[in-house]
Structure 1
Amino acid sequence: MALADVDVEIGGLPAEHRLRIIGDGSVDDDGKPKRMGTVWTASAHIITAVIGSGVLSLPWSMAQLGWVAGPSTLVVFAGVTYYTSVLLTDCYRSGDAVAGKRNYTYMEAVESYLGSGQVWFCGLCQYVNLVGTAIGYTITASTSAAALYKANCFHKGGHSADCGVYTTMYMVVFGVSQVVFSQLPNLHEMAWLSILAAVMSFSYSTIGVGLSLAQTISGPTGKTTMGGTAIGVDVASSAQKIWLTLQALGNIAFAYSYSMVLIEIQDTVRAPPAENKTMRKANLMGVSTTTAFYMLCGCLGYAAFGNAAPGNMLTGFGFYEPFWLIDFANVCIVVHLVGAYQVYCQPIYAAVESWAAARWPGSDFVVRQYHPFGADRFGVNMFRMVGRTAFVVVSTVLAILLPFFNDILGLLGALGFWPLTVYFPVEMYIRQSKVKRSSWKWVALQSLSFVCFAVTVGVTVASVQGITQSLKNYVPFKTRL
């Protein structure tokens, strides 16, 4: 019997009947190949998804918040992220947590618990965030590539050399590379790229922590304060202080964002024990490890640079010595973002191409695969080639027009934090657990959601204001690092 047939025939049976039918252990209760994920693999996936380019902005965020609010904010966001992630893990199965129907994606879970009307809102938030992340990664990669050139220029010409460089060229080169990698059909064909990207992420983050620690010990260090940047000294006015503080909150929210892929991670976990029990441990391990790493990166970076901390910590070490280590860190960032870009964009490609195939099933342009070199494994599809290339071109042009690292990160954090990290997990949990309206638990959950919504609105307004201010003095295609 084929796996597809097993899936159809046993999907609606009670758990004990399904387990009897698939007693040979080769498939799971849904007829798919046996899942083999553990607490350790799930924790690794979470850490890999969370620790990304957002870590580079943490010293700047700490500078806006200071020694009191900075670490406290990291702890608060960690606690909220962990709690709502636990709520979300309980929604992996509809109904019974052990034998209920599996939801393979975040949107499937939303549809199962909240209905099709909410799916549109979820999809909008998810895909806007994914597109925004592609733009943000293009900006970050070009900044690091330009920093690589600048470090070598200073090493050869001395610290007084004119080593300013336009970032537009590097954005175009990064876009060209993404056009090539985007032609790979799906994530299964680029597992090696994701693994390499994860290694690079840990490498440059560790280098950032090490350089910050070395500068903190040996000096010189910047001035730090309990309240962060001072009005009249580091920032011009109290209004600017508020805007920058809100942007810092958005950067921290972006650094913790992984809810949009949590259900997909949980779908890799084996059972028994129940998947939600395994994922609770994985969430705790993942968020705890990430928070400890963020504390090191944010606090040491702030100690090294003080209130003048740069938006991207690796561009703040003067581009000087040890130039080879800074070079290596920036290479790691670029390589990581090449893979991370694909991880975030492949779901967009898959959604558009699935819709097009269903809409025009008889179109050769949409569905036909060409094998110009006789290779069966990799085929060329015209719709995929044109559509993905167009997406990369548009995202690259938008990155060139909006090369504002911190503002973009803050906006991405705002767009994804409340709806994907808080609202949907809370609403699905209320529906699943049948929490009574107006009960103390319902009030507490809705209060949490409202506070996070208020933070999201504030961060969104501040990020848009920051982008608007940056645009006043911005000349397109003339951004220099």
Structure 2
Amino acid sequence: MERKDVETNLIPLVKRQPSSTAAAGTRTATTLQTLGNIIVSIVGTGILGLPFAFRIAGWLAGALGVAIAGVATFYCMLLLVECKEKIESEEESQETKSYGDLGYKCLGLTGRYLTEALIFLSQCGGAVAYLVFIGQNLSSIYSGHGFSFVTYILLLVPIQIALSWIKSLSSLAPFSIFADICNVLAMCFVLKDDIEQALGGEFSFSDRKAFTSSIGGLPFAGGMAVFCFEGFGMTLSLENSMREKGGFPKLLAKAFAGITFVYVLFGFSGYMAYGDQTKDIITLNLPKNWSAIAVQIGLCLGLIFTFPVMAHPIHEIVEGKLKNSMWFQKLYYNEDGHDDMMTKFGKFGIIFSRAVIVMMLAGLASFVPGFGMFASLVGSTVCALISFVLPASFHLKLMGRSLNIWQRVLDVFILSCGLLFAAYGTYNTMVGV
């Protein structure tokens, strides 16, 4: 999962406000600004693994997997918005709900803990994917220097620990913008190289399979696609920020149509260019010239400085649980227990916890065999549960009696397919395709 799921998902860590005040202060984004936020919250480095997914599944199977994931994610986003509007209509005094609040309303504390746990795991998965991406690209660029993939990841640990001590996300915003620019430039450069490669005379369309013989190809491509559409946790924040509330569904539909088309085009062109030689990160297929190396280094630098943004919700969840525990309050707070009265020992404890989290994420990343397999695994498990299973479950719980038979059947179908996809996708990725 990538940096998109920011702290707005972590309702227990946010002070409650009256809904009228919140709405007045948040609905300021224009249609164009909301469109930009949708794109930024969804499109990330996962797109660079799509050509590999097309290689595993076949170009037609890969395109179908991306299209199905895009349509299903869009529909489930609308379900989440509908659930939020249902709750607001019944409880006018309450603030606008987020994912965690929906979980609590539908399933009580179990729903809240489940939702938060899945968000936590998705953020951890995205952070680990960042480190794997950086490690693979650096080991490719500097392959003759004797450093392994694991070595580059471990070298990043001191830098990431220092950056994790920056508590203000606004201070890291310029680095996020830099990473977005690098992503766009990388995609443009890769597309250009793909076209040149395909037109170079060695391309043969007959060698590119529409469907591979592996039955796990389509679920693998679907898992990668779900990972690429992973900005699901930002749905309610995006809808709440839009000035013209009624126009959000149409705007979201247009954004998803464009993003899905770009994803299919990118995956298709990458596989057409390199065929069975397509690597799990398409930038690893680029020629070893200065421009390709500059793109890879730019991507790595961007992710190094946006890793703290991805890890920020993880720190907030852990620190929120620590601050609510009795033993932490006794050891780390002054007698009045206020946060601004935390002792030096308490502040050191928070800093130490952030360092431990970064080291644990780096340790997990060092055991990941490849970016593509890991991204598909994350997409097939926690991202599938967050994007499909929970929204369908919440919709059935809140709207059940008011739904017609076909709507109920569709919700049950999405719920069942999400669970089966998560189970089979996990098995398929773990055993290899």
Question: TM (normalized to structure 2)?
Answer: 0.85
Q: Read off the aligned partner of 2:124 and give its amino acid letter.
A: V
CA contact (8 A) 1:36 1:269 kept: yes
Looking at structure 2, the residues matched to 98 and 90 of structure 1 have their Cα atoms a distance apart, in angstroms, of 14
Change (3 A) 1:167 1:70: same
1:201 corresponds to 2:183: yes
Looking at structure 2, the residues matched to 112 and 38 of structure 1 have their Cα atoms a distance apart, in angstroms, of 30
Q: Could you say what secondary structure the match of 1:33 adopts? A: helix
Report the CA distance between 1:286 and its aligned residue. Answer: 2.5
CA contact (8 A) 1:92 1:103 kept: yes
CA contact (8 A) 1:43 1:285 kept: no
- Match for residue 64 of structure 1? 56
Q: Deviations over 1:116-175 (max 9, x none)?
A: 22122212222112112211111111112223324xxxxxxxxxxx67751122112222
1:282 corresponds to 2:251: yes
Q: Deviations over 1:322-356 (max 9, x none)?
A: x1221122123213322442232111111221222
User: Between the two proteins, what is the percent identity of the paired residues?
Assistant: 17
- Match for residue 388 of structure 2? 422
Report the CA distance between 1:301 and its aligned residue. Answer: 0.3
Q: Read off the aligned partner of 2:65 and give its amino acid letter.
A: T
CA contact (8 A) 1:57 1:406 kept: yes
- Match for residue 24 of structure 1? none
1:210 corresponds to 2:210: no
Looking at structure 1, the residues matched to 201 and 343 of structure 2 have their Cα atoms a distance apart, in angstroms, of 59
5 Å-filtered alignment, 1:118-267, equals 118-150=111-143, 165-221=147-203, 224-229=207-212, 241-267=214-240
CA contact (8 A) 1:435 1:442 kept: no
Looking at structure 2, the residues matched to 414 and 11 of structure 1 have their Cα atoms a distance apart, in angstroms, of 37
- Match for residue 313 of structure 1? 282
Change (3 A) 1:164 1:123: same
Q: Deviations over 1:72-91 (max 9, x none)?
A: 22211111111111111223
Change (3 A) 1:435 1:362: same
Report the CA distance between 1:404 and its aligned residue. Answer: 2.1
Report the CA distance between 1:383 and its aligned residue. Answer: 2.3
Looking at structure 2, the residues matched to 228 and 164 of structure 1 have their Cα atoms a distance apart, in angstroms, of 39
Looking at structure 1, the residues matched to 284 and 388 of structure 2 have their Cα atoms a distance apart, in angstroms, of 33
Change (3 A) 1:362 1:104: farther
Report the CA distance between 1:249 and its aligned residue. Answer: 2.5
* From 347, 357, 371, the counterpart of 2:323: 357
Of residues 218-227 and 114-123 in structure 1, the stretch that sits farther from structure 2 once superposed is 218-227
Q: Read off the aligned partner of 1:133 and give its amino acid letter.
A: G
Looking at structure 2, the residues matched to 256 and 139 of structure 1 have their Cα atoms a distance apart, in angstroms, of 19
Looking at structure 2, the residues matched to 124 and 31 of structure 1 have their Cα atoms a distance apart, in angstroms, of 27
Looking at structure 2, the residues matched to 42 and 219 of structure 1 have their Cα atoms a distance apart, in angstroms, of 43
1:80 corresponds to 2:110: no
Looking at structure 2, the residues matched to 50 and 220 of structure 1 have their Cα atoms a distance apart, in angstroms, of 35
Change (3 A) 1:123 1:325: same
CA contact (8 A) 1:353 1:384 kept: yes
Looking at structure 2, the residues matched to 281 and 406 of structure 1 have their Cα atoms a distance apart, in angstroms, of 32
Looking at structure 1, the residues matched to 183 and 401 of structure 2 have their Cα atoms a distance apart, in angstroms, of 40
CA contact (8 A) 2:51 2:268 kept: yes
Gaps of 5+ in 1: 1-6, 13-27, 151-161, 232-240, 373-379, 470-481
Looking at structure 1, the residues matched to 398 and 343 of structure 2 have their Cα atoms a distance apart, in angstroms, of 48
Q: Deviations over 1:282-302 (max 9, x none)?
A: 322331221121122111101
Q: Could you say what secondary structure the match of 2:139 adopts? A: helix
Q: Could you say what secondary structure the match of 1:403 adopts? A: coil
* From 374, 377, 383, the counterpart of 1:411: 377
5 Å-filtered alignment, 1:277-356, equals 277-317=246-286, 319-320=287-288, 323-356=289-322
Task: Indicate the structure (1 or 2) with the bigger Cα radius of gyration.
Answer: 1
Looking at structure 2, the residues matched to 453 and 357 of structure 1 have their Cα atoms a distance apart, in angstroms, of 34
Looking at structure 2, the residues matched to 305 and 129 of structure 1 have their Cα atoms a distance apart, in angstroms, of 31
5 Å-filtered alignment, 1:92-131, equals 92-93=84-85, 94-96=87-89, 101-103=94-96, 105-131=98-124
* From 421, 429, 432, the counterpart of 1:455: 421
Change (3 A) 1:32 1:192: farther
1:431 corresponds to 2:397: yes
Question: TM (normalized to structure 1)?
Answer: 0.77
